[in-house]
Amino acid sequence: MQTRLQELFPTHYRNGNILMIQADCMEVMKHIQNGEVELAIVDPPYGGGADGTITRTGGTWSKIYQRDNSISKWDTAPNKEYFDELFRVSDRVIIWGGNYFNLPPSRNFIIWEKLTISESFSMAMAEYAWTNVEGNAKIFKYAPQGQVDDKRFHPTQKPVALYKWLLSRYAKPGDRILDTHGGSGSICIACHDLGFDLTWMELDTDYYAAAVERYKRHAAQAVLFKPEDVRHNDYNQQLLPNV
């Protein structure tokens, strides 16, 4: 699949099992076969919502949203066609912000509780992910901030540790992973460290370039743990140092 896609989309970066494409995800998914992806982990924008009333209202990035067009230009919720394509190409799906979309009930939803965020702060204290994966609801607790040597540059940037936790619980060895709204590229680092094949795409040229550079810096570093050591151990934050 990855070789086929990189031939079709010339603006890409590939390092082994990680393929990062700068393109519209709808165009890319047209060239993915039915059920060719075992697990999709996606974080689509929800701005505007179904009726055009939902906007970013909390934290530092909301001020940027309100001040200029740097976020609102892409922060538009996907339509039904997007979800039809996502479910066509993917066997299992995890959708961050699933509470904003018209999705069926899910018993195995996921909550990311953002440690260090107080009730008095405008930023959301938690985020919700919808899944069609078998199991029961779970909570992951982790701070949202970046690190000194890996600062946030995307308004919806999620910790690498969150993606490692998701992969360690919901992905099977050999699974092909899909991310349609790549953003900061945190999932690229997680899949690199855990040895999963990842097909990742981002439409915005600036975010794409920043995510590729971030991933390159990480990939150039020495690997602290073998992928199987992390994948087959219970979640341990000492094993997951990157955010």
Contacts (Cβ under 8 Å, ≥6 apart) of 88? 29, 34, 35
Average confidence score pLDDT of the chain? 83
Residue 128 has pLDDT above 80, yes or no: yes
Q: Is the pTM of the predicted complex or chain greater than 0.85? A: no
Contact status, residue 55 vs residue 47, Cβ threshold 8 Å:
yes
- Note the pLDDT of residue 189: 94
Q: CB–CB of 179/203 below 8 Å?
A: no
pLDDT of residue 8: 98
pLDDT of residue 242: 42
Contact by Cβ (8 Å): 176, 37: yes
- Which one is predicted more confidently, 24 or 147? 24
Mean pLDDT across the stretch 116-129?
81
Distance CA(203)–CA(180), nearest Å, equals 9
Q: 226-240 pLDDT, tens per residue?
A: 555 655 554 444 334
pLDDT confidence of residue 78: 87
Domain extents in the chain: 2-231
pLDDT digit string, tens, across residues 78-110: 889 999 999 999 999 999 999 989 999 999 999
- Strand order across the 197-202 sheet: 12-15, 18-22, 197-202, 176-179, 37-42, 90-96, 126-131, 110-114, 138-142
Task: Evaluate whether 138 touches 130 at the Cβ level (below 8 Å).
Answer: no
Q: Assign domain 2-231 to a CATH class.
A: alpha beta
In the block, which residue shows the tokens 């699933």?
98
